Every structure is written in structure tokens, then in C-alpha cells.
A and B are shown apart, each in its own frame.
Chain A
Amino acid sequence: MLIFRMALRNVFRNRRRSLLTGLMMAGGFVLFSATIGISEGTYGSLIDMFTRSRTGHAQVHAAGYLERPSLYKAIKDPDRAGRVLDGLPEVEAWAPRVYTPALAFAGSKTVGAQVMGIDPARERRAMRLEGQLAGGAFVEDVPSDGVVISARLASALSIKTGDEFSLIGQGADGSIANDNFRVAGVLSASGSAFEGPWCLMHIDKAREFMALGSRAHEIALVFTDYRKAREDAALVSAALGDPALDAQPWQVTEKEFYQAMLLDKKGGDITNYVIMLIVAVGVLNTILMAVLERTREYGVLKALGTRPADVFLLIMAEVFILALIASAAGALGALGLNHYLANHGIPLPNPISYGGVKFTVMQSAVTAETFSRPAWTVLLSALAVGIFPALKAARITPVKALSSR
């Protein structure tokens, strides 16, 4: 106990030096925390933008569809799956979809297209598809020949809102699928989740076109908390209780986006750890200086019979106390800064538009990690840099230490 009392008093012995060292650590904490907060907030917004533009937080497919999509790999009873999903509080909304490739014709032009059948009412609750319209109207709530096409398909076929075109594909029953459609609306050319030659139509119209009956290829899910997408997807899988169905979170369905995001986050982490390394070197310098100044004292302690382990503990306790106080101060500072950044954010010089949403400010998201990671980093890095001076003090030869000035 006396060792810790000594350590505590030693921290306040050279107040100016302890204050500067503490401020350095607290500053590192605040910076680290704000970076995590901004990163989490920005990625939170990006994930929300991305997932709500089309993907959803998770998707249910027939087993094997994700690896190799096919017209025939369909969810046999999407209504039953829907009833199960309605009973899960974690699921905020869901929307069934069907897909098939087709050939699109308009005048003398022919182009490959991707048909997507959607339930407009359900999509409206779950996604922001409608917001991606550049002009015209969205797919009607009742089945009709009015479809929404992507800018790329409109350009390839040289058609616009009100024009007609034809689609030819393959029905699930082996028949030739063909029908005429009217362009009700065109999706935006930039910042849309539908960059390819897409054609969106009412799900019942698409099912009729594909001779798919009541089946669906995909059920897109939106959870109440996107951060729990993995757990909730597993929960959905368990609740569906059908080995023929597979629920996967957005991290799996959009692997490339997720990997790119992780890579970017790791880059940010490296920057943070470099900051903490600089702080740690400063702390090391301070502790070394303190140990050097107190060489004689450590010599006295050892002469009196203090074991090297206790001298080591004394220095480590000092470092820990300083780091703890700095972390507490840093946490307070970080709380204030993150609160400000969560409410006001940092305006983006060039706002980003995606999926019908305009991203204008980078806002902080305050989570437990915003404080826990900087706290652990400050404490552990301080303890790590404390080891060398503490060992140095523990190994002091009393007779040499006592003759030092």
C-alpha cells in the first residue's frame, strides 16, 4: 500500500512535468477517440447509404444462390419466410425480389439487361430506391407495364420516360419470356446503386414475365441496428429453420465494399497507433528523466532491503496512475469533442450523393469503442514504455546509486 502511496505522491512531485506528460497522453486519447468516433460515424452513414440504396443489412436467398445466381434457385415460399420475419423484433422491414437477365430492344437497338422485380410498397419501407430517380415516376404499387430503368439502359437503348421497349428472356418453365414495357422513370446516372443496365418492375409483373409463380430470389432485410447485422442474420437463419434458405449479412453479400472499408479503417488505425507511439516516446522520455533524477532514492530503497521487483512495481504504479488520470481527463475531453462532432460534424467540401442520399457532413458516432480503445491504448502503451525505465531502476546497484548526485 505504501508503495502505491509513494507512486501517487511521486506523480504529483514534479507537477509541471506530470501535467505536461498527462496532457500529452490525454491529447493522444482525445485525438484517437475523435478519429474513431468520426470513422465510426462516417462508416455508419456510408453503410446506411450503401445498404439502404439496394443491398439491405442482410439478404435471404435459396442456398447456393449467392455463389451462383440462377433463375431456378428461388425461395419457394417467400410468404412463409415473410411471416417469420414479421415476428422478429430485430427486423425493421423486408422486401422480396426476383431477378433475371434479359435482352432489351428499342427500335434497332438491342442490349443485355438485368430485370429486377420489386414490391414497391415494401421497398419504400426498407430502401431508398425511389430517391434514386432522375426523372419520371417510380414503379407503381400495382402491377403494370410501367418500369423504371437505369440511366445506362436508357442511354444504350436511346429511350426516355414515356417510351416503349421490349424484353426477351427465359421463363422458369422453359418458355420464352417476352413482353413490351413503358418507361415510367429513369434512375440517376451518378450516385445510384443501379449503375448497370437495370430494369425495375413490379414483382408480380416480373414473376409473370419469368413464369416464376409466387417464388422469389431474394428477400432484402433491414434491421433495427445495422451494427448487429451479423448476429441478426444468424438469428434470421435460425428463425427460418430451413436449410434450403441462407441469410447473410451485408458484409458477406457485399464483400468487396466491406473489405475496402476494413482496409481503409486499418489505415486509420495505423495513423492512430503512430500518434500513440509518438505520445509513448514522450512518456518514455519523461519517465526516464524521472528515474535518472531519483537514482539515489532507488539506491536508498534497495539499500534498506527493497527487492528489485518492488522498485519495478513502484515505477510501473507511477506510470499506471499517470496514465489512468490522463485517460480519465482524455475521456472527458473526448466526450465533449465527440458530442460536438456528433451534433455538428465536419462539413465535407465536396458532398457525396449515393442511393438518393446526400452526405454533407462527417459526424461522430459515440460507442463504447470510442472510449475503450483509446483507454486501453493509452494504458497499455504507457505501461509498455514504463517497463524499460522500471527495469533500469530495479537493476540499480545501491552503492553506485548512493554515490550519484
Chain B
Amino acid sequence: MDKELVIEAKGVSKTYAEGEVKVHALHPVDLAIRRGEFTAVAGPSGSGKTTLLNIISGLDTPSGGRIKLAGREMSSMTQGELSDFRRDHIGFIFQAYNLIPVLTVGENIEYVLLLRGVSPGERSARVNRILDEVGLAGKRGRFPAQLSGGQQQRVAIARAMVSGPDIILADEPTANLDSATGSALMDMMRELNEGKGMTFLFSTHDRMIMEKSSRLVTLKDGRVESDSLKK
């Protein structure tokens, strides 16, 4: 069964020092995510969900514990190795979309393929295909500022998916969107998850996401409060 594990976090903790005071953002947490899961990590602000996602993605380092992602131990990696690891294994969707404003829609998506050394012809074909899948086929040459918030988040989803990562980490992906757009995007991601078997891990406090996810992990004060499979 270990083969199916995409993420295996054991006793992962994070403590910040604020002057003399130590803030325990994350108490030792265990979490295992299997390939193809559509998991939401929920909890109120300050519960530690973003910290957990940051540590899982290698953007932040844990104070204790160990993390394996796609079978590789992350805690022993250097910053350069983590950078390459993120490039090769992780897709990101941010709350604020975080597209590169000087790159067109097509270029924003193409960028991650370029980092992975994909050939120009292959890049172009994959960008066209993914834009088609997220419903932005005619927007390839547009700049992010020319798109609505929902469209920008679709581009971010396309960018996260185009390289076929082992897992897509989405930090509050609908927080900046109206409920209808957010719901439509979640449906789209669910379809991609079911159709392509892509693994998603969300951090959220949006009830709609919690409802649409197949597994819900709730955090409270840096501890796992509950972990339930919905289907």
C-alpha cells in the first residue's frame, strides 16, 4: 500500500519564535495522502493549515518530524534540491492566483514546462490541450490583467496541472472568488481529479470545498482534530 502514498507526514511540527515567546503553529501531525485523493484540510484562521501545506510543499521547513513526498524524504534536501523537487512533483494553486503579470496566459502555463526542459513543440501542444480542458482555449495570448478573477484561477489551475505533478496543493483557491465561480472551479478540479486521477490537497475554510472534497482533515490549534473519508 506504501506505493500509493503520495504524502507521508510523520510527527511534523512547526514552532515560530516571536521574541522570547514560542508559537506552536503545528503540533506533531501525522498525515498520509494517497494518489488520486481529493482532500481538504480545513480549519479556522491560525489552525495551521497553510503552515502544513507550506511544509508539505517544501516551501517551509518543519521544526520536527519527517515528510516523504512521492517516495522521497524531503527533510534532508537542500534548497536547490527542494526547488527541483517542487518543479518536478508539485503543482501550486494560490489564493491570489499569483500569475506572472508580464507573461501571457500561454506563457504562464508554458513556464513550468520550460523549467522541466520540455521541448518547444511539446510545450505548445500541452499548453493548448490544458487550456482547452480549463475552458480558456481562446485566451492564450491574453495577459492576466485582461482576465476575470475566475479566469485567472483557471489559468493557475492549468499551470499547476500541465506538467502532470504528483500532487496539486491549493491554498484557499476560492477565497478571492464569488461563490458561483468558486463552485464551478471546484467542479472542474473534481472532474480533472476523477478523469485524470490527479491528487489534490486543499487548505480551506470554505464550506463548499469541504463538501466537494472526498476526504476532510480538520485542524484546530495546530492539531488534527478529525480526518474523515466522505465517500
Interface residues of A (CB under 8 A from B): 2, 5-6, 9-10, 13, 296-297, 300-308, 398-399, 402
User: Please, which residues of chain A bring their CB within 8 A of the CB of B88?
Assistant: 305
- How far is B101's CA from A297's CA once the two chains are assembled, in angstroms? 9
A2–B54 CB distance below 8 A = no
B100–A301 CB distance below 8 A = yes
Give me 13 other A-B pairs in contact (C-beta within 8 A), A304-B87, A307-B83, A399-B59 excluded.
A2-B114, A300-B98, A301-B100, A303-B59, A304-B92, A304-B111, A305-B83, A305-B84, A305-B88, A305-B112, A306-B87, A398-B59, A402-B98
Q: List 12 A-B contacts (CB under 8 A).
A: A2-B110, A6-B103, A297-B98, A297-B101, A303-B92, A304-B86, A304-B92, A304-B111, A304-B115, A305-B115, A306-B115, A308-B83
User: Please, which residues of chain A bring their CB within 8 A of the CB of B80?
Assistant: 307-308
Give the contacts of B85-121 with A (CB-CB under 8 A): 85-88, 92, 94, 98, 100-103, 107, 110-112, 114-116
Secondary structure class of chain A's binding surface, majority of residues: helix
- How far is B102's CA from A296's CA once the two chains are assembled, in angstroms? 14
- How far is B68's CA from A341's CA once the two chains are assembled, in angstroms? 71
User: Please, which residues of chain A bring their CB within 8 A of the CB of B60?
Assistant: 399
Give the contacts of B16-66 with A (CB-CB under 8 A): 54, 57, 59-60
Number of residues in B with C-beta < 8 Å to the partner? Answer: 27
Given A306-B83, A399-B54: A5 touches B107 (CB 8 Å cut-off): yes
Name the 8 nearest CB pairs between A and B, nearest first: A305-B87, A9-B102, A399-B59, A300-B98, A399-B60, A305-B86, A398-B59, A305-B115
Nearest neighbor of B61 in chain A, beta-carbon distance: A399
Interface residues of B (CB under 8 A from A): 54, 57, 59-60, 79-80, 83-88, 92, 94, 98, 100-103, 107, 110-112, 114-116, 159
Secondary structure class of chain B's binding surface, majority of residues: helix
Nearest neighbor of B123 in chain A, beta-carbon distance: A2
Given A303-B92, A304-B87: A296 touches B98 (CB 8 Å cut-off): yes
Given A2-B107, A2-B110, A6-B103: A303 touches B57 (CB 8 Å cut-off): yes
User: Please, which residues of chain B bring their CB within 8 A of the CB of A2?
Assistant: 103, 107, 110-111, 114
User: Please, which residues of chain A bring their CB within 8 A of the CB of B116?
Assistant: 305
Min C-beta distance of A368 to chain B, whole Å:
36
User: Please, which residues of chain A bring their CB within 8 A of the CB of B112?
Assistant: 304-305
